[in-house]
């Protein structure tokens, strides 16, 4: 019962019931990325993505980002982007998590550099 409630009303976990119906009726699966996200296109030209887990737009890799935003690119013809050895794999935004990047990992640097005037 709770799962059905989540599917109908809660859009930030995955796709809602409305998105699922739209995808079944009008969507044509174009492809999947390495994270398991699925990319769809309708006959009218609208494009959308259904995420494999939590919805986060930074989880779309560059080869699909250009496709979903209608940016003409050589990647549209082939969805497998050839990567060089020196290129890092795509990683979603980690800001606000424990894995966020800090230029200096020294614990003292992360402390506040100011004091409040109230006690």
Q: Where are the domains of the chain?
A: 28-81
What does each C-alpha distance from 74 to 7, 14, 107 come to in angstroms? 36, 30, 45
Of 12-16, 18-22, 41-45, which range is least confident?
12-16
Indicate if the pLDDT at residue 103 is higher than 80.
Answer: no
Phi, psi of 93 (to 5 degrees): -65, 125
Q: What is the pLDDT of residue 46?
A: 92
Q: Is there a contact between 73 and 96 (Cβ–Cβ < 8 Å)?
A: no
The dihedral of CA 79, 66, 36, 16: what is its sign?
A: negative
pLDDT, mean over the chain: 76
39 compared with 52, residue with greater pLDDT: 39
Of 11-15, 65-69, 95-99, 108-112, which range is least confident?
108-112
Q: What is the pTM of this model?
A: 0.59
Q: What is the pLDDT of residue 35?
A: 85
Q: Is there a contact between 29 and 56 (Cβ–Cβ < 8 Å)?
A: no
Q: How far apart are CA 5 and CA 8, in angstroms?
A: 5
What does each C-alpha distance from 77 to 29, 55, 103 come to in angstroms? 15, 26, 38
Indicate if the pLDDT at residue 34 is higher than 80.
Answer: yes
């Amino acid at each position: 019962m709770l799962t059905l409630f989540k599917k109908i009303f809660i859009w930030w976990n995955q796709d809602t019931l409305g998105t699922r119906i739209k995808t079944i009726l009008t969507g044509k699966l174009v492809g999947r990325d390495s994270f398991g996200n699925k990319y769809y296109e309708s006959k009218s030209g609208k494009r959308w993505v259904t995420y494999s887990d939590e919805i986060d737009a930074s989880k779309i890799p560059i080869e699909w980002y250009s496709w979903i935003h209608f940016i003409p690119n050589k990647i549209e013809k082939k969805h497998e982007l050839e990567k060089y050895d020196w290129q890092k794999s795509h990683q979603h935004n980690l800001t606000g998590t424990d894995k966020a990047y800090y230029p200096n990992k020294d614990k003292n640097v992360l402390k506040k550099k100011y004091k409040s005037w109230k006690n």
